[in-house]
């Protein structure tokens, strides 16, 4: 099986967070390569569990041969909110 997804990485304090927005799966590591490797493992667990539960297609994934396509992102934008506490 093959799945393609976006990987975002950012630093939080002394660790790097890796995130796959189409899957809403994240992980972390002390260095960027470790964070990415850990994300791949987390995504693999997510996909295996979703397949076992039969929820992968319900979540918008489409299987085309051996390739699973993630749901299409229709909008990405920075949003600003002003608030008082």
Domain ranges for the chain: 2-69
- At residue 26 the predicted structure's pLDDT band, cuts being 50, 70 and 90, is very high
Q: How far apart are CA 60 and CA 51, in angstroms?
A: 13
| Measured CA angle at 70 (ends 7, 81), to 5 deg | 60
Please determine, for residue 42, whether its predicted confidence score (pLDDT) is greater than 90: yes
The answer, as to whether pTM is greater than 0.95, is no
Which CATH code, of 2.40.10, 3.30.160, 3.30.70, 1.10.10, is assigned to 2-69?
Answer: 3.30.160
Q: How far apart are CA 40 and CA 44, in angstroms?
A: 6
């Amino acid at each position: 099986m093959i799945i393609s997804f976006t990987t975002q990485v950012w630093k939080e304090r002394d660790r790097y967070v890796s995130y796959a927005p189409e899957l809403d799966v994240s992980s972390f590591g002390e260095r960027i390569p470790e964070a990415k490797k850990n994300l791949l493992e987390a995504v693999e667990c997510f996909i295996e569990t979703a397949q076992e539960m039969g929820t992968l297609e319900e979540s918008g994934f489409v299987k085309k041969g051996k390739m699973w396509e993630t749901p299409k992102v229709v909008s990405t934008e920075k949003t600003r909110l002003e608030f008082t506490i």
